[in-house]
Structure 1
């Protein structure tokens, strides 16, 4: 048997890559799958409560991923979780307060202005800045980088085993927490549901201050959010902390239609996928795409079905989910807030119940989480129809009671 195919227990993880025991209760380890916001905030709470844990992350190191935009963090969910973790002051130092949002049509006619200096309730932060904040809040030797999880299994005696893509297995965990996002490898233990394609893909890139299109982007968005919509077609700009803009182009395409050759720059993307769909849009907007020199990234939008957290969910001792792993939706503004709040709620239950009553802690966490998850997924399907569907943005305005 080769070393890669041998089964290893928790104690076989190199000591530099696993938590030290912090008392009798810390001998039963917890595994967190995923070092995104939900997983790292959980680790932060466990660190402060001296609860032993290990985070497994598929990325090779703590470098911040590219291809991300902005997040608005809400007071009673995301901000509350950060406050309880002792991170709110650091968040406020990085966040932008009073960010404006402008919604326009395909000819750049303004339909709605919202937010602005008076809106102090929903500060925005770059996703990469939030990720960096959370990484800095957790000892990075508690994260096992380059750990691509293939599956997770549960033995008859309740012992959890993590199966890596390189054929390595780690067993002995009493609780495995799936914080591994849309395509969670932990989710199948709890529900057979899989993400459903919304029909919409966004192609994303950055407009840098020295790019030819930057003056136009800056004049339109004015260091805020600028959302151009006509049915399923979208061109969005989001201002980032380094003065660049996150540019995303959305449209309805068949699943898997994009290939890397069409994403190398804006001119190629325009000719291969966008020209026929955006030919009636004002040049001021489409030139932002056509003149982009950087590569684009395809971001297809998915929702979990409501049944995932309703009729198809079966609680299993030794495993649970947080964030998108539990309640994936298209962007609604709630995703990271729900994820951070999940982590607060789960960490609170584990701290209160203690490591010897993990199953009771998870049961108490899942009761309200599944209610929240159902509401989140239902909102995701509503948003897919009203904001990303063929009637947008007017279908969204009507549903929200906005008088146009």
Structure 2
């Protein structure tokens, strides 16, 4: 076996890194995951994830976790409303559609994956700053000045990964869209009218270049995104102070001045906001050949893309499935050839996902865009 007596280091305990660890550990491989979060209780903030049948769900099946995913994920219908709060389209998920793409809270997914790893597989509070080579080993340098060694490093630590530079010169690029994410607790009290408008569905509204997507069932909260083209005079959203919740609320209320009061109620009920310029990592640059020791990237670290096709996590999970299969199936002569085959395959499907994502992004940013074109 290629990985016999090898120590594997996975950088990042997101869904992709943890799933990669499960797939390797199930075959007896010595794998450690290093994560910058303080501990397993560190809350992950953000929208729910829906795993697609032909990608993310296939990986969950390979890991033996598909049924557990279905137990935790919530089938969600779709509602499209206009800026006046008038329902244009609604669809409740049928029993036959329950497993198509149910939504799972990010913390629930992390816990599901952690519960299927051996204790102490994940080393918390361990942010990797740099790598170096000593003899036949990778030396991992961490922010807290500790070091560890590994025979093979897999970067799964997201779009801002510090180890990408060892593999590719590609840099993170902003795509020209800005997202403001908000969260409301006790929505049944704090924004009752908007919650009723959702009617237990994911609600989508678009008007004059402003998009709103809300999920009323993100664990115990209602979470949402407001999406718009980044103004030309902005620099990474620095014009907005996200430490000042009231100022962001005012910005959104002013931006939606001609929207129904229920939307403004939503903004005023929000407990905190996060601003995110959407970013990508192009796969047009070839990755470095003749790497001195085995190293590769999976997930956002390899091919960060905005969420406009729902592909990011799903493509990352496919990465984990294919790379694990190549390393474990006995068909390759070396770790390096197994990695090369994975990367060649990944470049094809990830580029296609990025293309789909970009096309959707440009369409959705148009002033006359309507979610109805996706709903019908």
TM-score of the superposed pair, with normalisation by structure 2: 0.88
Partner of 1:17: none
Question: Deviation of residue 248 (structure 1)?
Answer: 2.5
Residue-pair matches, total: 368
- Taking the aligned partners of 2:255 and 2:240, their CA distance within structure 1 comes to 19
The yes-or-no answer on 1:150 pairing with 2:126 is no
Matched, 1:295 2:275: no
Q: How far does residue 64 in structure 1 lie from its aligned partner after superposition?
A: 4.2
> Which residue, out of 255, 260, 273, partners 2:235?
255
The Cα shift of 1:111 comes to 4.1
Distance in 2, matches of 1:153 and 1:355, equals 26
When residues 52 and 354 of structure 1 are mapped into structure 2, their CA distance, relative to the original with a 3 A threshold, is farther
Which stretch shifts more, 36-45 or 315-324?
315-324
Unaligned runs of 5+ in 2: none
Shift of 1:397: 6.0
- Cα pair 1:40 1:134 within 8 Å, conserved: yes
| C-alpha distance in structure 2 between counterparts of 1:62 and 1:142, whole Å | 12
Aligned 8 A contact 1:200 1:250 in 2 = yes
Whether contact under 8 Å (2:184, 2:269) holds in the other structure is no
- Are residue 393 (structure 1) and residue 372 (structure 2) matched? no
5 Å-filtered alignment, 1:246-325, equals 246-251=223-228, 252-253=230-231, 254-258=234-238, 261-265=241-245, 267-271=246-250, 273-292=251-270, 294-305=271-282, 309-315=283-289, 316=291, 317-325=293-301
Task: State whether residues 35 and 179 of structure 1, in contact with CA within 8 Å, keep that contact through their aligned partners in structure 2.
Answer: yes
Secondary structure in structure 2 of the residue aligned to 1:96: coil
Match of 2:120 in 1: 141
State the Cα distance separating 1:32 from its structure 2 match.
0.3
The SS at the match of 1:196 is: strand
> Structure 2 vs 1, CA of residues 163 and 295 (structure 1 numbering), >3 Å: closer, same or farther?
same
Q: Tell me, yes or no, if structure 1 residue 53 matches structure 2 residue 31.
A: yes
Structure 1-normalised TM-score? 0.83
Deviation at 1:300, TM superposition (A): 2.5
- How much has 1:259 moved relative to structure 2? 7.2
Give the 5 Å matches for 1:177-256.
Answer: 177-209=154-186, 212-240=189-217, 242-251=219-228, 252-253=230-231, 254-256=234-236
The structure with the greater share of residues assigned to helix is 1
> Which secondary structure does the structure 1 equivalent of 2:70 belong to?
helix
Structure 1 segments unaligned to the other structure (5+ residues): 1-22
Q: 3-state SS of the aligned residue for 2:367?
A: coil
Per-residue displacement from partner, 1:368-400 (whole Å, max 9, x unpaired)?
11111211222222222112x133634x766x6
Structure 2 CA distance, aligned partners of 1:354 and 1:175? 19
Q: Is the 8 A contact 2:130 2:141 kept in 1?
A: yes
Which range is displaced more, 318-327 or 66-75?
66-75
